[in-house]
Structure 1
Amino acid sequence: MTLDAASLSPQDALVAIMIAVSMSDQNMRTAELVAIQQAVTSLPIFNDYDVDRIKEVSTITTDLFEEEEGLDALFEIVRAALPEHLFETAYAFACDVAAADGALYQPELRLLEEIRYELQIDRLHAAAIERGARARHLKG
């Protein structure tokens, strides 16, 4: 499947980041998929988003993960499609998906670190975003 930056909307880029985090440990957990679905169906950034695109973006992300330089290609596409003012939003969504199942696994932590680097998220801002995700997903 071929994808160029022009065919990916900012919302698609946000979905791709969330799917990538869920896929990072080779196990897409139900809680993570629910977190993605809830974000897409309830947050204002996705008001006009066609939820049927989630499947297509998921397929694209999966295909990229199977390529040798796929993660680099994903970040290139995401940076091209996502306005800079939404970089922290993308990181917040990534953190929410990672925290959704109540556990953070090494592959997820490595990918979050890569997202921080690729989207140039300031370390202090990243810490605040991470703390917010942790607070939202605490269990009793």
Structure 2
Amino acid sequence: MVAVSAADENIRTSELVRIQASVNHLPVFADYDINRMKEVSQTVFSLFEQEDGLDALFGLIRDNLPERLFETAYALACDVAAADGTITENENRMLEEIRYELSLDRLHAAAIERGARARHQT
């Protein structure tokens, strides 16, 4: 979620609110230590500054996220991207990269994207 928000180098309040709400309310984060948010964010920002940082980021994700949660992670990323009502070109590229790196089926990804778009429609 943080990577999608930071992808366009403009982290919006609506995106931060979406991340916070997701972490506070979704069952997938029931055992998550909220105090790790700052550390995770700093790690993402640090990796974005490195030449092969994106590869390293996806390596960390694949190593630490169970495969059964890949679609959930993508859905949350889509919600963050759509939170401000606009998906920038950089956010869209990040979503494409996430789809690829997590080997998500294109049809499933399209359904997830459509759901995010519907939830954040104004």
- Runs of 4 or more consecutive aligned structure 1 residues displaced over 2 Å after TM superposition: none
Deviations 1:34-84 (A, max 9, x none): 000000000001112111110010011110000000000000110010111
For residue 82 of structure 1, what is the aligned residue in structure 2? 65
Match of 1:98 in 2: 81
Q: Deviation at 1:122?
A: 0.2
Out of 2, 7, 20, which is 1:37 matched to?
Answer: 20
TM (normalized to structure 1)? 0.86
Gaps of 5+ in 1: 1-17
Matched residue, 2:6:
23
- Identity across the alignment (%): 66
Say yes or no: does 1:120 pair with 2:103.
Answer: yes
Q: What TM-score, normalized by structure 2, do the two folds share?
A: 0.99
Deviation at 1:19, TM superposition (A): 0.2
Residue 63 of structure 2 is aligned to residue 60 of structure 1: no
Query: How many residue pairs are counted as aligned between the two chains?
Result: 122
Unmatched runs of 5 consecutive residues or more in structure 2: none
Give the letter aligned to residue 2 of structure 2. Answer: I
